[in-house]
Amino acid sequence: MLDVTHEEWLRRAKSLEPSGAHHIDGVDEPGGGAGYAVVSPRDGQVLAEVADAGAAEVDAAVAAARRAFDAGPWPRLAPADRGRVLLRIADLLEERREELALTVSLEMGKPITDAYGIELRAAISTFRWYGQLADKLTDESPHTAPDALALVTSEPAGVVGAVVPWNFPLTLASWKVAPALAAGCTVVLKPSENAPLSALLLGRLATEAGLPPGVLNVVNGNGPVAGRALGLHPDVDVLAFTGSTAVGRHFLRYSADSNLKRVWLELGGKSPNIILPDAPDLARAAATAAWGIFFNQGEMCTAPSRLLVHSSIAEQVTEAVVARARELRVGDPLDPATEMGALVGESHLERVLGHIATGLDEGARLRVGGGRTLAESGGSFLRPTVFDRVDPGMRLSREEIFGPVLSVLAFDDLDEAVRLANATEYGLAAGLWTSDLSTAHKVSRALKAGTVWVNCYEEGDLTVPFGGVKQSGNGRDKSVHALEKYTELKTTWIQL
């Protein structure tokens, strides 16, 4: 891990001067309208003034992407040549890793150790993995009658609109941009208005790496204006979105009201984490449950926010999680000793506090936390929070909170655990802790989720797909399967 002190990070933060210009057609564009301030959740101070895209800026970005796809070299390059550019992007991200980690930490409140060690590692690995994959793909030639030849080829789908949230601003952008570029598409990326600065720097580094003008464009802006313009744009062929289920519905409507563009959605979650009495290591299961809900301030769609524990061990496990919550170090994201940073902003903090108040009103028992902390800093900090005696009908158990708030539900048998786990409109992820191999297979099959972790949580690498079912969305990020979102299959039948 990088050996940089708190004082040094503070010094670097003071000298950081992030650019807020859009990056369109290979150059920075200041935009034609008024901008807005990006505020750091660590202290409430303005980080930068950034350009705010309206329909005109989105049109310019899409037009650049369209030209680059229809007439530019990128889709026509040999896959190995595209791969080399992606590898160069990965190298530049590595070279600027400290600056990018600092930017991420400042703009969304993530601890600097996580920004550098997890967020940037994931972004760099993603570009490197797809860069190495680019020339390893093959098309198909199915066996047909002797007098015919059939070819099934994958072709780049065209212009991709990618809209990503603030909780992992570089990781989630990379999960969409890297496979889209590897497939030969061009991209218009719209980061969250809360955390656009790292994505803007990604766009500039991609151009520096040799990406032709117009292949990757980055525009700031809010969802109702810039996001809507991108979703409705007739020259966008594919829309890939990570965010809330409510906004995902809007993108489906935009598709229906425009050109029927394909829409791929990675949406919310209310993920269950089931701990059985025969868990191989109960202490590790409890520690992982605590890490999972408090990591990244709980601002994760996969957060194991519903802890389902067998009644015979419920108090033991809950007390272990509560003890960890009490000792967790909440503090300045730029302090390497900080374990949980700030929520992304005041409005989100108030929303999470509203969920906590609702939980109390509904009769759940607050075991620890429940209020803000470090208010004197000017930042948006919340104490790690645990509720037990949660009823499955409570909003605490049903609604995505997107904060460090854990709901503990007890069950008496395995069938009840599965019913509780599946009693949600979401289906993104789930966890299961057991020593029984048969139980692991049977329950994993019964859980309605895109990913099931057994005796671990949040594990995996780029070889495996990520995505959800039900109202957690469709399509997959990561792995070879991500390319399916950005390619079209063409059948060519040749009569011999």
Degrees, nearest 5: CA angle 349-352-353: 85
Q: Cβ contacts of residue 335 below 8 Å, gap of 6+?
A: 6, 9, 111, 112
Active-site residue, from 266, 299, 339, 400: 266
Which DSSP category does 383 fall into? Answer: -
Distance between CA atoms of 213 and 68, rounded to whole angstroms? 7
Six-digit token string for 152 = 């099934």
Tokens of 155: 């072709």
β-pairing, 159-163 vs 186-190, is: parallel
266 is catalytic: yes
3-state helix, strand, coil split of the chain in percent (to 5) is 45, 20, 35
- The residues, any chain, with a CB within 8 Å of residue 95's CB and separated by 6 or more, are none
Torsional sign, CA 245, 250, 255, 257: positive
The structure tokens listed for 258 are: 């425009």
Strands of 234-336 (E only): list them: 238-242, 262-266, 272-275, 306-310
* Set 193, 301, 339, 458: catalytic member: 301
What is the DSSP-derived secondary structure letter of residue 246? Answer: H
- Does 399 participate in catalysis according to the annotation? no
Collect all residues with Cβ–Cβ distance below 8 Å to 15 and sequence separation of at least 6.
Answer: none
287: tokens are 């520690």
> Distance from first CA to last CA of the chain, Å, rounded?
61
Q: What is the DSSP string of 391-430?
A: -TTSHHHHS---SSEEEEEEESSHHHHHHHHH-SS--SEE
Nearest to 352 by CA among 394, 406, 422, 292: 406
Q: 204-208: which pairs have CB atoms within 8 A and are 24 or more residues apart?
A: 204/19, 204/23, 204/28, 205/89, 205/92, 205/93, 205/96, 206/89, 206/177, 207/23, 207/26, 208/92
Contact by Cβ (8 Å): 405, 388: no
- Single out the residue of 295, 293, 294, 296 nearest to residue 308, CA to CA: 293
DSSP assigned state of 251 = H
Q: Is the dihedral of CA 430, 436, 441, 443 positive or negative?
A: negative
Residue pair 157/262 in contact by the 8 Å Cβ criterion: yes
Q: How far apart, in whole angstroms, are the C-alpha atoms of residue 219 and residue 177?
A: 14
Catalytic residues: 266, 301
